[in-house]
Structure 1
Amino acid sequence: MASAPRKLYQRIAEDIVSAIADRRYPPGSRLPGERDLAEHYAVSRPTIREAMIALEIRGLVEARQGSGIYVSAAPQPMADLPELDVGAFELVEARIMFEGEAAALAATAIEPEGLAALEAALADMAAALPGSPADLQADRQFHMLIAEATGNSLVQSVVEMLWNVRERSPLCVAMFDQARHEGIKPRVDEHRLIVEALRTRDPQVARQAMRTHLRRVTDDLLAATELELMQKAQAEAEAHRHRIARRAAL
């Protein structure tokens, strides 16, 4: 049986691993900037971000002093990255496509009971602590209720599969955990706009409300991953200042 094709972020990460192994980027050297890498590989910056986070999870790169990403270790022989699976940006891209259409279909078929269930899920979402299991469960329940409202079991299965990936893919989990650590939680107001769109039974409005919400998730992920790199750099700079102060006091 042929092996599954590598995902885009995996191919980029593996290429950088090879460059590190060949000492084009030896330990301690700075990788090209995110924008330069995106242009070099002809991909989006989110794809580069996924590749960098995959390398960071492996302990091969780190942020340093606000100046970019640096190689922190040489890869072990035969290192590769398949088990990290799907990244959050790739997942959200698929969700925009499938859940946008699910919302449009649900708008034509949702019953009053379905709308009431969505309101209950909104209340649970608003009451949950950011990053808690109840937080994630309320978010998942909300989106699954919309898939259920389509009346199409295949749509339900696809949306459920996407949420399973969100919870099981190590790279995806790491990226969403990072976002939750930065205080990002499901936006209740955006979810409420989706419910109101469904209440109007207008497929176009419902589709747009869902897509707008999920695009905001991408924006939040970009901000959270960038913020974490900045915080690491700031922490390292602060430690450096303390080292200098201690030496000066000798």
Structure 2
Amino acid sequence: MKNRRLFWRIVDKIEAGIDSGEFIAGSRLPPERELAERFDVSRPTIREAIIALEVREKVEVKTGSGVYVVSPNKAVKPVKKVNAFELTQARALVEGEIAALAAKTITDDEISTLKQTLILMKDMKNVEEADTKFHKVIAHSTRNGALITLFEEMWALRSSSVEIIKDYDIVCSTDNAKTLAEHTEIVCALESHDAAKARAAMHKHFNRLINVLFDKLEAQALEEVRRKTNANRDLYSIESLLNKRP
């Protein structure tokens, strides 16, 4: 999607600055507001870029201090790769419980913020940013630091590999109307402070996303079969043999 491509351009620019020595290892990156003005993008776009850079281990976010450039010699722990199916299933389980807890803790102001994201999605304005804000507001409304950290880490995994990025681009660009309807159902459940309905609505949302992923995989498999069949048809057809004769 457009917004996703945009934040990756910012990632490339900041990485170029790190490689060129403009941003020195150990130094703090300029504040979010300054980076947004410098690259002429929104602050949420800068936040998405920082998350991607953190996953790539180019920067380290220190709460209350800022974002620091990581030394290239810094030892890093090997990270087991996950795929989009694993990530989406994990998000469904965790965010389902987040929604259930949020139903008991969410404030009227947070509900209003969620409704604003619905308006943006309906008007097809900054859909990716609206989706990001939607899920983050719900997570933060739990007031549970462990759940918020777990959510943030899983959200960062959306940008952890080229494969997941491609898969999520397709998922996020598939049927915005259904996503809007599902988000609306989640907000209604949260507004009514019904934990069971909030959990079920969140599970319903992610269940469709998983099915979209399976549909994509099936379409790719069929296309590969079709490609191989056409290649074999060309190889073994009588017309092909006759055309090859001297």
| Corresponding position of 1:226 | 218
| Alignment of structure 1 residues 134-153 onto 2, 5 Å | 134-153=126-145
Structure 2: stretches of 5+ with no match in the other structure: 1-77
| 1:9-34 alpha-carbon deviations (Å, 9 max, x no partner) | xxxxxxxxxxxxxxxxxxxxxxxxxx
Cα displacement (A) at 1:86: 1.1
Deviations 1:155-200 (A, max 9, x none): 222111111001223332233245467x455711111110111011
Please list every run of 5 or more consecutive structure 1 residues that lacks an aligned counterpart in the other structure. 1-81
Aligned to 1:125: 121
Following superposition of structure 1 onto structure 2, how do residues 147-186 of structure 1 map, counting pairs within 5 Å?
Answer: 147-179=139-171, 183=174
Cα displacement (A) at 1:242: 6.7
Distance 2:238 2:165 in 1: 39
Contact 1:92 1:218 in 2 (8 A): yes
Mapped to 2, the partners of 1:205 and 1:143 lie a distance apart of: 16
8 Å contact from structure 1 (residues 175, 225) kept in 2? no
1:1-250 aligned at under 5 Å gives the runs: 85-128=81-124, 134-179=126-171, 183=174, 187-238=179-230, 247=240, 250=243
Contact 2:99 2:138 in 1 (8 A): yes
**Alpha-carbon distance, 1:151 to partner:** 2.0
Deviations 1:115-151 (A, max 9, x none): 111111122233338xxxx433322211111012112
Matches of 2:157 and 2:200, distance apart in 1: 24
Deviations 1:28-75 (A, max 9, x none): xxxxxxxxxxxxxxxxxxxxxxxxxxxxxxxxxxxxxxxxxxxxxxxx
Contact 1:104 1:204 in 2 (8 A): yes
Counterparts of 1:89 and 1:127, CA distance in 2: 29
* Identity value in percent: 30
- Alignment-mate amino acid for residue 121 of structure 1: T
Q: Choose 1 or 2 for highest CA Rg.
A: 2
- Cα 1:231–1:180 shift into 2, 3 Å: farther
Aligned 8 A contact 2:171 2:209 in 1: no
CA distance in 1, matches of 2:241, 2:172: 39
2:53 paired residue number: none
Matched residues, number? 164
CA distance in 2, matches of 1:125, 1:235: 37
**TM-score normalised per structure 2:** 0.57
Moved more, 229-238 or 155-164: 229-238
The one-letter code of the counterpart of 1:200 is S
TM-score by length of 1: 0.56
Q: Deviations over 1:84-121 (max 9, x none)?
A: 71111111121122111110111111112111111111
